[in-house]
Structures are given as C-alpha cells and as structure tokens.
C-alpha cells in the first residue's frame, strides 16, 4: 500500500517535471487530483483500510497530495509567467514611439460658405429645394420671362445640349418648378451648381449659386430688404451696410442689385472695391407677374420676392480672395487656410 503511494508520488513528479506547457500541467492536475484522479481514488478507498493502519495511511496519503499539489502549483506559476512574458514580448507596444500623422481633410471653402448661408436661411424659415443641372430651356429661360431670341439670354453664356435642353445658367430655374408643385406661402432657397461658357479671374464655367424666393399674399420689397439685411449682417457682420441699386432682370420687376459696404476698407475706398466703397453681392427683385402666370399662379393674388447670389463670390468677399480659379485648382496650400 505505502509503496503504491510512493510510486504514484514519484510518477507524478516525473511527469510534472517533463511537462512542457501549462496545458500539460493542467491535465496532470486532473490525472492525479481530479474527481476521478489516481490519488483521489486512493483517498476514497481509505475506508477499506483496516482501522489500525488507517491513520498512518491517511497521513502519508495527505502528504503525497500536498506534495503533488505544491509541485503542480510551482510549475503552473512558471508556465504562467513564461506565457505572459511571451505575450509581452510578441505584443510589445512602445508607447514612446511617435504616432504617425494622419492628415485630416476639411470641407472646401465653397461648401463651408454654402453651409453657413443655408443655415442662416433655414433659421429664417426657408426650405431647401433642388432642381436639375441639366435643365429644360423652359425653366431656365422661358418661364422666367425670357422667350427664345430675348436679348437678356445673351447676359448668360449658355451651354446648349439641344434646342430645348441646357446646362442651367442659374438656380433661378428652380423657381417655377417649385411653384408648379406647391401652393403659397413659399419660403424657398435653392442652392446648386450652375454653368456658363465663360472663364477669367472672376468667372469659371461651373460655379455655385443660391436662389431664394418668398411668395405669399402681400409680400413687399420691404420683406426682401429685411431678409437680406439679416442675411448680410450674419455673414459679414452687423456693421455692414446695404445698398439697393436699380437694375434689370426679366424675371423680377422692379429689380435691384444689392451692394454691401466694402468688407476690406469698410467703405473708405480701396483697390478691392475699386475706390467705390461698395461691393456688388447679389441680384434681387419682386417676382415678375409673368413668372407667376407661367407657374399657374394668379398674379393678382400673390406677390413675392426673389434673389440670387454666387457662392464663390460671397466666399471671395468674405475671405478676401481675388481669383475665383483658386477654388478649383485643388492647391492644398490654398485649401488648408479654411
Ligand atoms: N439669376 C440671376 C443670375 O444668375 C441672379 C438673380 C437676379 C436671381 C435677380 C434673382 C433675381 O432671383 O431676382 O445672375
């Protein structure tokens, strides 16, 4: 009996010492000390030992158990430490290594200004509407009181796709589309790309505009003035002055061009405002009754105002940019300034 225990002890020690992994140690633990383990079996059979030997036998059995437990524990710890070290070695992170620089993009200045303008008008209760960039001649011209051969068409150098289809030359084309599908009151802005066959320091073939209009009973020019004043003050500051200059557009009557006091010299005169103290910023007016008729509205019942502006132009004035082409050259040195 005692020899039995001794050989179990020896065998366990041999096996434990030969183990090469934590897993093997865990298996040996089960093999010797588990519920059906070899040593556990011996402990369970203690009852069948004659009374007089049982005490001594139990003591030796217990000793062997503690011995194996301790040995297993020691090896377990060794393997645990080794495994941890391995993980620490292979998955080492040097927190002092400088991080790699990930350049972060930003919104294009045109988008930034457009977003700002949209935010202002939506806060005034205007809804955003969109129309197609490839537009029918009807919505771009005819419905805006510019029939074929109307001289005002020459004001805009149009890209014609066919006799009846153009690349829209302005976002005013959205006006009649919206009116046809809605009943007043209307408070709408229509931002988007427009196209003109033109290119120099202040003109590019594709640029952005924002059209705005308001239609209801009893809309007057003072509503136009009030809305534009709020808008200009929010974009350029409350000290900015506005000036309405009589002008002509076929789709508005009366029409005006709106100037703001020069953002650079505050009106004193500089080369940006060509010493006039004023900068032209947008076109506007009271919607021509002919346009209402085209949309199927009764011009006796409704009145409204409309205005249109170039987004790049607003951005140029806001940031003092003198060449519109900079917006589309994708020069990082330019773009990173916004
Ligand atoms: N559509 C005009 C343009 O492209 C801008 C404009 C002027 C829009 C007067 C309007 C307006 O709504 O009333 O130059």
Domain boundaries of the chain, sorted by first residue = 2-90, 109-335
Distance, in Å, from the CA atom of 19 to the CA atom of 15, rounded to the nearest integer, reads 6
Cβ neighbors of 261 (< 8 A, separation 6 or more) are: 239, 240, 241, 242, 243, 267, 277, 278, 279
- In the chain, what is the straight-line distance between the N-terminal and C-terminal CA atoms, in Å? 90
Contact residues for 167 (Cβ-Cβ < 8 A; gap 6+): 133, 134, 135, 158, 159, 161, 194, 195
Query: Distance between CA atoms of 35 and 47, rounded to whole angstroms?
Result: 17
Counting DSSP H helices and E strands in the chain, the numbers are 11, 9
pTM over 0.85: no
Nearest to 111 by CA among 230, 208, 231: 208
What percentage of the chain reaches a pLDDT higher than 70? Answer: 100
Kindly give the number of the ligand 1 atom that is closest to the alpha carbon of 285. Answer: 13
Is ligand 1 within 6 A of the CB of residue 252? yes
pLDDT in tens, 95-135: 898 988 888 889 999 999 999 999 999 999 999 999 999 99
Name the DSSP letter for residue 276.
S
Scanning 248-309, the segments in alpha helix (DSSP H) are 289-295
The rounded Å distance from CA 307 to ligand 1 centre is 6
pLDDT of residue 42: 85
Cα→Cα distances 135→66, 193, 290, Å: 92, 12, 20
Residue 153: the pLDDT is: 79
Q: Which atom of ligand 1 is nearest to the CA of 211?
A: 12
**Residue 172: CB within 6 Å of ligand 1?**
yes
* Atom number, ligand 1, closest to the C-alpha of residue 305: 13
Q: What is the pLDDT of residue 161?
A: 94
Distance CA 234, CA 150 (A): 37
**What are phi and psi for residue 113, nearest 5 degrees?**
-65, -40
Atom of ligand 1 nearest to the CA of 251: 13
Atom 5 (ligand 1): residue with closest C-alpha? 308
Q: Does the pLDDT of residue 1 top 80, yes or no? A: no
> Could you tell me the distance, in angstroms and rounded to a whole number, from the CA of residue 39 to the centre of ligand 1?
98
Q: Residue 312 C-alpha to ligand 1 middle, in angstroms?
A: 15
> 9 C-alpha to center of ligand 1: Å?
100
Domain 109-335 of CATH type 3.30.70.270? no
Residue closest by Cα to atom 6 of ligand 1: 308
User: What would the pLDDT profile of 153-192 be if each residue is shown by its tens digit?
Assistant: 776 789 999 999 999 999 999 999 999 999 999 999 999 9
| Whether the Cβ atoms of residue 207 and residue 194 lie closer than 8 Å to each other | yes
C-alpha to C-alpha distance for 309 and 282, rounded to whole angstroms: 5
Instruction: Please report the pLDDT score of residue 118 as a whole number.
Output: 98
pLDDT of residue 155: 67
Rg (CA), the chain: 43
| pLDDT tens digits along 54-105 | 888 888 889 999 999 999 999 999 989 988 998 888 888 888 989 888 888 8
CA distances (Å), 325 to each of 197, 199, 318, 330, in order?
Answer: 14, 9, 16, 10
Give me ligand 1 centre to Cα 52, in Å: 116
Nearest CA, atom 8, ligand 1: 308
Q: Which of 262, 244, 241 is nearest to 307 (CA)?
A: 244
Is the CB of residue 184 less than 8 Å from the CB of residue 305?
no
pLDDT(335) > 80: yes
Q: Given the CA of residue 175, which atom of ligand 1 is nearest to it?
A: 12
Q: Is the CB of 129 under 6 A from ligand 1?
A: no
Distance of CA 143 from the midpoint of ligand 1 (Å): 14
Q: Is residue 211 in contact with ligand 1, taking CB distance under 6 Å?
A: yes
| Predicted local distance difference test score (pLDDT) of residue 39 | 87
By most ligand atoms within 8 Å of CB, the mutation choice from 198, 308, 309 for ligand 1 is 308
DSSP string, 59-114: HHHHHHHHHHHHHHHHHHHHHHHHHHHHHHHHT---TTSPPPP-------HHHHHH
> What is the pLDDT averaged over residues 301-320?
95
Report which ligand 1 atom has the smallest distance to the Cα of 155: 14
Higher pLDDT, 51 or 300: 300
Instruction: Pick the residue whose CA is nearest to atom 3 on ligand 1.
Output: 170
Note the pLDDT tens digit of each residue in 43-57. Answer: 888 888 888 888 888
User: Is 283 in contact with 256 (CB distance < 8 Å)?
Assistant: yes
CA distance 286 to 318: 27
Q: Is 308 in the pocket of ligand 1 (CB under 6 A)?
A: yes
Mean pLDDT of the chain: 92
Query: How remote is the CA of residue 318 from the centroid of ligand 1, in Å?
Result: 20
| Chain segment 209-237, per-residue pLDDT in tens | 999 999 999 999 999 999 999 999 999 99
């Amino acid at each position: 009996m005692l020899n039995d225990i001794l050989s179990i002890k020896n065998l366990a020690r041999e096996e434990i010492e030969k183990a090469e992994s934590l897993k093997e140690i865990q298996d040996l633990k089960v093999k010797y000390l588990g519920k059906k383990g070899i040593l556990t079996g011996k402990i369970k059979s203690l009852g069948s030992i004659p009374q007089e030997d049982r005490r001594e036998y139990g003591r030796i059995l217990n000793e062997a158990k503690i011995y194996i437990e301790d040995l297993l524990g020691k090896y377990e710890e060794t393997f645990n430490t080794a495994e941890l070290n391995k993980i620490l070695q292979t998955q080492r992170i040097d927190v002092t290594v400088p991080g790699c620089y990930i350049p972060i993009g930003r919104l294009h200045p045109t988008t930034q200004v457009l977003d700002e303008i949209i935010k202002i008008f939506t806060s005034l209760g205007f809804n955003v509407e969109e129309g197609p960039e490839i537009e029918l001649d009807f919505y771009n011209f005819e419905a805006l009181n510019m029939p074929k051969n109307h001289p005002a068409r020459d004001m805009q150098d149009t890209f014609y796709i066919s006799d009846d289809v153009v690349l829209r030359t302005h976002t005013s084309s959205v006006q009649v589309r919206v009116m046809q599908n809605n009943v007043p009151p209307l408070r709408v802005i229509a931002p988007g790309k427009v196209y003109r066959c033109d290119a120099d320091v202040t003109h590019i073939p594709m640029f952005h505009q924002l059209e705005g209009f308001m239609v209801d009973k009893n809309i007057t020019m003072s509503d136009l003035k009030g809305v534009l004043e709020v808008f200009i003050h929010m974009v350029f500051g409350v000290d900015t002055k506005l000036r309405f200059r009589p002008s002509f557009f076929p789709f508005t009557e009366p029409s005006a061009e709106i100037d703001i006091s020069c953002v650079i010299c505050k009106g004193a005169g500089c080369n940006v405002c060509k010493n006039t103290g004023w900068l032209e910023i947008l076109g506007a007016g009271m919607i021509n009754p002919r346009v209402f008729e085209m949309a199927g509205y009764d011009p006796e019942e409704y009145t409204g105002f409309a205005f249109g502006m170039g987004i790049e132009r607003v951005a140029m004035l806001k940031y003092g940019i003198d060449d519109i082409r900079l917006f589309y050259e994708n020069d990082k040195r330019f773009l990173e300034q916004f």
